[in-house]
């Protein structure tokens, strides 16, 4: 009885293999484009918010979480007090595409998009500076703008004009 | 007897009088008790309701109850629990209430990573807020160039106002509004007036007050290189923690040393650091004004020294080893050496050293009768802070000064001309202001009091009870260390040698004899006899511009060294970072990574002065003797080298005793009707601090301060070394007949505080 059971199992396995006959799953990349899943973790990029401004606020969480310490940035300050990355540098010869930076990014700036195969002649060429990382688009999150949610005032957004905010308090008033 | 209570079954030691939270923090067991409004230096308030613990009574009649740890006095065998579900629920719910209106700002908040609120929220496990309604917002205030306000983040712990009003006795900051609309700030926009405003940044448990200077060149705290250092901006020697990244210094935080600076630091100590990154800072060796290779400069300097006609000038601005290194080199070459730039300053140093053991700031804060002579806040703000703490504990304060200073407003003010100070000080022992006290303390700004006044202070101290203490302050970090080996007429001898053409070359270390150091007027008249001048310094100065050879030196956070503070406490500081890594900062400085070789002329940054002196000794082939002498002097002054993390070691009294024989210095005679000079300083004014732009934007106008009964717009002062044309700034607080000018003015005139001066008043310019 036990022997027969083994034959059935063997046959089931063989059937799985035989079922694939006739199906073609080889893609002749790079002639044919790949159909990558949306959660594919390719090369990290810096995206822009729906208004076209860069999303990164140089909070340095990505560089803190990066297990290979391949992200390095220096914060700068614009005239309107908005923080932005003065330099933003990823060393792709160290990047392991783990996506922790994307998970950590509170402003959805850093996103791992679908570029995955790129080769260079020199290691130094793998050090991508900010102008090479920043793309002209919102990436996977078309509507999110961090500054609409945060409490700080910025440019034309005054205190109390953010999402889910009350008008500024009048601290001079003693009325109930 | 050891007192303990039990926190979650763990024995927690306490000192009677402490509360439970204080003892738990001191014992390092505060991980279980979150808190906000409690601050070790500001005490308990019980406002935030966060530090709940469950207390089990000793008897079985009463049920256990939840109470606030910061309001519960610690008592023996108290049984406290925090790990039970109801205590944890209380912690979590209170955090959630405090976080109701807290904005989602952490990515753009400078407090992130060092935020007490963040820590406590994570610690209690609160992660999802149930409240989904709109959040309260506030408009921010502009609080000047040092502190940045973002009022939305406030959790109303009142720490800021308790610090600013109760501890620092500031008047221009307070709490406004009512109920849940409470706001903390000034009545209207404007810079904070207190010299301690920067502490708001450290006191605030969240990001309402953040460091505005750090903000311009921000980096998260986890990326900072930090280490133990000592503040180089005055004689108090507060312990600091500089933070640097990529070879540039970004910020200074307080490092607690219970005997000097507890939890706070003055604004000069906190915001004067940009001298390290100033554009004017010399970074490469210069020969006759041109950038040059270091070997060329060293060889040129060595050939100068070989002639045997050089003088050596140290500085109280430089650390102990560097001064001793220079002294040892002078000794090897049998050349004259002086540590200060004028005989007046030397007499001052001598009298400072002769004063018996000065009080630590902790002792000042515990004093109950305090006499302050001169404007203490502008010389050593943290000493002024200790006086404020004593005032908060009920001390009686008497201020002797020629103008109504910040401290004078807090106590009895006795307006006095500087020349009258020695007389008044010598009679202080019988003065009612010191009577009936348990611990009388006299604090003086050395320059205002002058050598004669310091002598009188020492004599007064002998008449006071044995526990009375006196301290004298200057705004140099190392007067004691520099002056120790050169306080017997050395400056006079050096100047005499120059006058008689015995020497025609001068090697200076961190001194500015042609600029704003004391006695600069005399040096300027002597400078035609100088064939060449070499300087080792870290800031740009008039002397640096005039120097034939300039060797840049590492800034204090970039090297190790020793400072001897006003009490004679030898404190060590450690190198915190190296300047070399700055080259990684490519996009900022316009070039990519440095070329493998020869890309940068001096990628290592300037070395410490001892390196230069050692190389010179080597070139002069005296390095063995030099090293021996240096080791000998160092061992003599400081047999056990202190550790940067330790509170420092005090100079033995026997070493100071040799200065006690110093004779009474001569006093200038001022006749009635003559104008008299006093020094005007402000809390941010100091040679290194002068290059810190943000701090200096608060500097008062330069001019001549005089009582408004003088009707003039300009004045010309005539001194032995030159004249000075200054705008007149009428100042209500000045004593009549006294003119206050800054140190640069004194240097120009060749005069000292308390000297009479000839004035010509002018209308219009």
pLDDT tens digits, residue range A138-154?
Answer: 999 999 999 999 889 88
Question: Residue B526 belongs to what H/E stretch?
Answer: helix B520-526
Q: What is the mean pLDDT of residues B676-705?
A: 92
CB proximity list for B329: less than 8 A, separation 6 or greater? B312, B613, B616, B617, B622, B626
Q: What is the pLDDT, as a whole number, of residue A175? A: 80
pLDDT tens readout for residues A60-79: 999 999 999 999 999 999 98
| Measured CA angle at B252 (ends B37, B536), to 5 deg | 160
Q: Are B2 and B13 in contact (CB under 8 A)?
A: yes
pLDDT at residue B32 greater than cutoff 90: no
| Helical residues (DSSP H) of B5-115, grouped into ranges | 20-26, 85-98
Q: What is the dihedral of CA A11, A13, A19, A25, to 10 degrees?
A: -160
Residue B671: CB atoms within 10 A of its CB come to 8
What pTM does this model have?
A: 0.91
Inter-chain contact A164–B222, Cβ cutoff 8 Å?
A: no
Exposure string of B465-479, with b = 16+ CB inside 10 Å and e = fewer, is eeebbbbbbbbbbbb
Q: What is the pLDDT, as a whole number, of residue A33? A: 85
Q: What is the mean pLDDT of residues A98-109?
A: 94
Residue B535 C-beta-side C-alpha neighbours within 13 Å: 28
CA distance B53 to B55: 6
pLDDT tens readout for residues B376-408: 999 999 999 999 999 999 999 999 999 999 999
Q: What is the mean pLDDT of residues A52-63?
A: 93
Question: Residue B718 belongs to what H/E stretch?
Answer: strand B714-719
pLDDT at residue B602 greater than cutoff 50: no
Residue B17: CB atoms within 10 A of its CB come to 9
CA distance B269 to B250: 13
Q: What is the mean pLDDT of residues B142-168?
A: 94
Using the Cβ of B459 and the Cβ atoms of chain A, whether some distance falls under 8 Å is answered with: no
Contact residues, chain B, for A106 at CB < 8 Å:
106-107
Q: Are B609 and B552 in contact (CB under 8 A)?
A: no
Start-to-end Cα distance in chain B: 74
Q: Which residue has the higher pLDDT, B688 or B667?
A: B688
ipTM of the complex: 0.85
Q: For B374, left (φ over 0), alpha (ψ -120 to 50), or beta?
A: left
Q: What is the largest CA-CA distance in chain A?
A: 90
Q: What is the mean pLDDT of residues B250-267?
A: 92
Is residue B31 one of the residues assigned to a domain? yes
| Measured CA angle at A75 (ends A129, A136), to 5 deg | 50
Q: What is the pLDDT, as a whole number, of residue B594? A: 40
Express as a percent the part of chain A with pLDDT over 90. 61
Residue A98: CB atoms within 10 A of its CB come to 14
Q: Are B485 and B511 in contact (CB under 8 A)?
A: no
Using DSSP, state whether B313 is helix, strand or coil: strand
pLDDT-wise least confident of A66-70, B36-40, B656-660, B721-725: B656-660
pLDDT tens readout for residues B271-290: 999 999 888 999 889 999 89
Q: Residue B730 sits in a domain of what CATH number?
A: 2.40.40.20
Q: What is the pLDDT, as a whole number, of residue B338? A: 92
Sheet containing B469-473: order of strands: B412-415, B396-401, B369-373, B440-445, B469-473
CA distance B540 to B557: 18
Using the Cβ of A53 and the Cβ atoms of chain B, whether some distance falls under 8 Å is answered with: no
Is residue B577 one of the residues assigned to a domain? no
Q: What is the pLDDT, as a whole number, of residue B531? A: 86
Is residue B660 one of the residues assigned to a domain? no
CB proximity list for B191: less than 8 A, separation 6 or greater? B143, B144, B145, B146, B698
Is residue B308 one of the residues assigned to a domain? no
pLDDT at residue B666 greater than cutoff 50: yes
Bridge partners of B73, per DSSP, are B19
Using the Cβ of A78 and the Cβ atoms of chain B, whether some distance falls under 8 Å is answered with: no
pLDDT at residue A3 greater than cutoff 60: yes
Using the Cβ of B604 and the Cβ atoms of chain A, whether some distance falls under 8 Å is answered with: no
Contact residues, chain A, for B182 at CB < 8 Å:
171
Phi, psi at residue A126, to the nearest 5°?
A: -80, -10
Q: What is the largest CA-CA distance in chain B?
A: 94
CA distance B57 to B77: 10
Contact residues, chain B, for A168 at CB < 8 Å:
137-139
Contact residues, chain B, for A151 at CB < 8 Å:
103-105, 135, 137, 150, 152-153
Judging by DSSP bridges, how do beta strands B396-401 and B412-415 pair with one another? parallel
Q: Residue B29 sits in a domain of what CATH number?
A: 3.10.20.740
Q: What is the pLDDT, as a whole number, of residue B178? A: 85
Contact residues, chain B, for A107 at CB < 8 Å:
107
pLDDT at residue B74 greater than cutoff 50: yes
Is residue B598 one of the residues assigned to a domain? no
Q: What is the pLDDT, as a whole number, of residue B603? A: 55
Contact residues, chain A, for B178 at CB < 8 Å:
173-174
Q: What is the pLDDT, as a whole number, of residue B665? A: 73
Inter-chain contact B140–A64, Cβ cutoff 8 Å?
A: no
pLDDT at residue B592 greater than cutoff 50: no
Q: What is the mean pLDDT of residues B451-468?
A: 91
Using the Cβ of B694 and the Cβ atoms of chain A, whether some distance falls under 8 Å is answered with: no
B238 vs chain A: nearest CA distance in angstroms?
Answer: 30
Q: Are B437 and B278 in contact (CB under 8 A)?
A: no
CA distance B192 to B206: 19
Of B107, B135, B593, the CB nearest to A166: B135
Q: In terms of Cα–Cα distance, which of B590, B724, B414 is closest to A86?
A: B590
Using the Cβ of A172 and the Cβ atoms of chain B, whether some distance falls under 8 Å is answered with: yes
pLDDT at residue B596 greater than cutoff 60: no
Q: In terms of Cα–Cα distance, which of B305, B295, B298 is closest to B331?
A: B305
Q: What is the pLDDT, as a whole number, of residue B209? A: 96
Residue B632: CB atoms within 10 A of its CB come to 12
A94 vs chain B: nearest CA distance in angstroms?
Answer: 17
Using DSSP, state whether B656 is helix, strand or coil: helix
pLDDT tens readout for residues B168-196: 999 999 999 888 889 999 999 999 999 99
Rg for chain B, CA atoms, rounded: 28
Q: What is the pLDDT, as a whole number, of residue B590? A: 42
Is residue B573 one of the residues assigned to a domain? no
Q: Which of B75, B98, B121 is the last residue of a domain?
A: B98
State CA B385 to chain mean position distance: 11
pLDDT tens readout for residues B626-661: 999 999 999 988 888 888 888 888 887 777 777 776
Using DSSP, state whether B107 is helix, strand or coil: helix
Q: What is the mean pLDDT of residues A105-125?
A: 89
Bridge partners of B39, per DSSP, are B43
Q: Which of B441, B456, B471 is the last residue of a domain?
A: B456
Instruction: Examine residue B133 and say whether the peptide bond preceding it is cis (omega within 30 degrees of 0).
Output: no
Q: In terms of Cα–Cα distance, which of A121, A126, A118 is closest to A89?
A: A126
pLDDT-wise least confident of A8-22, B124-138, B392-406, B568-582: B568-582
Q: What is the pLDDT, as a whole number, of residue B283? A: 87
CA distances from B461 to B355, B369, B371, B397, B469 (A): 9, 13, 12, 17, 7
pLDDT-wise least confident of B601-605, B697-701, B759-763: B601-605
Q: In terms of Cα–Cα distance, which of B454, B229, B215, B255 is closest to B358?
A: B454
Express as a percent the part of chain A with pLDDT over 70. 100
**Which of B156, B218, B595 is the best substitution to test chain A (most A C-beta atoms within 10 A)?**
B218
Q: Are B634 and B322 in contact (CB under 8 A)?
A: no
Is residue B496 one of the residues assigned to a domain? no
pLDDT at residue B599 greater than cutoff 60: no
Q: What is the mean pLDDT of chain B?
A: 89
Q: What is the mean pLDDT of residues B363-388?
A: 94
Q: What is the pLDDT, as a whole number, of residue B662? A: 65
Domain that holds residue B54: 4-98
pLDDT tens readout for residues B300-312: 999 999 998 999 9
Is residue B554 one of the residues assigned to a domain? no
Q: What is the pLDDT, as a whole number, of residue B646? A: 86
pLDDT tens readout for residues B432-454: 888 888 999 999 999 999 999 99
CA distances from A141 to A54, B610, B755 (A): 13, 58, 74
Q: Which of B405, B423, B456 is the last residue of a domain?
A: B456
Q: Residue B436 sits in a domain of what CATH number?
A: 3.40.228.10
> What is the 8-class DSSP label of residue B164?
I
Q: What is the mean pLDDT of residues B596-620?
A: 75
Using DSSP, state whether A128 is helix, strand or coil: strand
Express as a percent the part of chain B with pLDDT over 70. 96
CA distance B393 to B594: 58
Q: What is the pLDDT, as a whole number, of residue B663? A: 66
- Total domains in the fold of chain B: 3
């Amino acid at each position: 009885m036990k022997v027969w059971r083994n034959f059935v199992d063997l046959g089931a396995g063989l059937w799985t293999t035989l079922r694939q006959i006739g199906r073609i799953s080889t893609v002749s990349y790079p002639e044919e484009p790949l159909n990558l899943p949306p959660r594919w973790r390719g090369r990290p990029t810096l995206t822009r918010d729906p208004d076209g401004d860069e999303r990164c606020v140089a909070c340095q969480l990505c560089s803190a979480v990066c297990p290979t310490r391949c992200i390095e940035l220096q914060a700068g300050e614009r005239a309107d007090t908005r923080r932005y990355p003065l330099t933003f540098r990823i060393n792709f010869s160290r990047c392991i595409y783990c996506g922790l930076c994307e998970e950590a990014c509170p402003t959805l700036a850093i996103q791992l998009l679908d570029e995955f195969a790129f080769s260079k002649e020199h290691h130094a060429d793998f050090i991508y500076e900010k102008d090479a990382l920043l793309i002209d688009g919102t990436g996977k999150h078309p509507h999110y703008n961090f500054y609409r949610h945060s409490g700080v005032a910025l440019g034309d957004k005054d205190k109390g004009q953010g999402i889910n905010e009350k008008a500024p308090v009048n601290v001079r008033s003693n009325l109930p | 007897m050891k007192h303990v209570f039990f926190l979650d079954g763990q024995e927690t030691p306490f000192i009677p009088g402490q509360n439970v939270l204080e003892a738990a923090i001191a014992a390092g067991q505060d991980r279980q008790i979150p808190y906000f409004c409690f601050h070790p230096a500001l005490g308990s308030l019980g406002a935030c309701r966060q530090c709940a613990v469950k207390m089990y009574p000793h008897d079985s009649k009463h049920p256990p109850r939840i109470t606030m740890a910061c309001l519960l006095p610690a008592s023996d065998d108290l049984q406290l629990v925090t790990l039970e579900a109801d205590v944890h629920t209380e912690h979590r719910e209170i955090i959630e209430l405090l976080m109701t209106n807290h904005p989602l700002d952490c990515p753009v908040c400078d407090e992130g990573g060092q935020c007490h609120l963040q820590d406590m929220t994570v610690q209690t496990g609160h992660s999802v807020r149930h409240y989904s309604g709109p959040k309260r917002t506030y408009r921010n205030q502009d609080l000047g160039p040092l502190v940045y306000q973002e009022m939305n983040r406030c959790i109303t712990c009142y720490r800021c106002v308790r610090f600013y009003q109760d501890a620092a006795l500031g008047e221009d900051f307070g709490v406004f509004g009512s109920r849940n609309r409470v706001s903390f700030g000034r009545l209207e926009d404007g810079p904070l007036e207190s010299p301690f405003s920067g502490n708001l940044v450290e006191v605030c448990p969240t990001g309402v007050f953040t460091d505005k200077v750090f903000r311009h060149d921000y980096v998260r705290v986890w990326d900072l290189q930090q280490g133990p250092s000592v503040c180089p901006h005055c004689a108090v020697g507060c312990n600091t923690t500089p933070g640097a990244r990529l070879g540039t210094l970004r910020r200074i935080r307080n490092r607690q040393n219970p005997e000097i600076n507890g939890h706070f630091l003055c604004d000069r100590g906190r915001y004067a650091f940009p001298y390290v990154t100033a554009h004017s800072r010399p970074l490469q060796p210069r020969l006759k004004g041109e950038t040059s290779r270091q070997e060329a400069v060293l060889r040129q300097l060595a050939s100068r020294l070989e002639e045997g006609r050089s003088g050596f000038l140290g500085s109280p601005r430089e650390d102990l080893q560097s001064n001793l290194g220079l002294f040892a080199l002078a000794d090897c070459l049998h050349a004259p050496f002086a540590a200060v730039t004028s005989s007046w300053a030397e007499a001052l140093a001598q009298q400072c050293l002769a004063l018996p053991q000065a009080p630590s700031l902790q002792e000042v804060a515990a004093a109950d009768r305090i006499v302050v002579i001169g404007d203490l806040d502008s010389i050593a703000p943290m000493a002024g802070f200790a006086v404020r703490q004593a005032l908060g504990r009920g001390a009686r304060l008497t201020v002797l000064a020629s103008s109504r200073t910040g401290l004078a407003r807090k106590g009895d003010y006795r307006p006095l001309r500087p020349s009258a100070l020695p007389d008044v000080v010598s009679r202080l022992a019988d003065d009612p202001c010191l009577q009936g006290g348990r611990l009388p303390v006299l604090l003086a700004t050395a320059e205002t009091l002058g050598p004669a006044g310091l002598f009188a202070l020492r004599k007064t101290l002998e008449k006071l009870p044995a526990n009375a203490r006196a301290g004298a302050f200057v705004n140099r970090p190392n007067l004691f260390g520099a002056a120790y080996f050169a306080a017997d007429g050395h400056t006079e001898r050096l100047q005499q040698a120059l006058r008689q053409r015995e020497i025609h070359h001068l090697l200076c270390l961190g001194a500015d004899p042609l600029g704003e150091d004391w006695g600069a007027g005399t040096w300027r008249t002597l400078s035609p006899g100088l064939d060449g001048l070499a300087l080792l310094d870290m800031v740009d100065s008039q002397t640096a511009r005039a120097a034939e050879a300039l060797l840049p030196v590492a800034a204090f956070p970039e090297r190790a060294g020793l400072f001897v503070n006003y009490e004679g406490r030898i404190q060590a500081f450690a190198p915190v970072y190296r300047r070399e890594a700055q080259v990684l900062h490519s996009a900022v400085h316009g070039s990519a990574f440095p070329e493998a070789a020869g890309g940068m002329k001096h990628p290592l940054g300037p070395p410490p002065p001892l390196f230069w002196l050692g190389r010179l000794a080597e070139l002069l082939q005296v390095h063995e003797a030099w090293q021996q002498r240096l080791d000998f002097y160092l061992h003599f002054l400081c047999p056990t080298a202190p550790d940067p993390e330790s509170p420092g070691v005090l100079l033995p009294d026997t070493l100071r005793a040799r200065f006690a024989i110093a004779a009474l210095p001569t006093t200038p005679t001022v006749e009635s009707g003559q104008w008299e000079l006093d020094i005007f300083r402000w809390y941010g004014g100091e040679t290194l601090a002068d290059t810190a732009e943000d701090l200096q934007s608060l500097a008062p106008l330069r001019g001549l301060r005089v009582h408004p009964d003088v009707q003039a717009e300009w004045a010309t002062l005539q001194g032995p070394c030159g004249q000075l044309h200054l705008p007149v700034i009428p100042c209500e607080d000045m004593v009549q007949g006294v003119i206050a000018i800054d140190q640069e003015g004194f240097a120009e005139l060749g005069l000292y505080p308390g000297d009479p001066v000839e004035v010509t008043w002018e209308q219009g310019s």
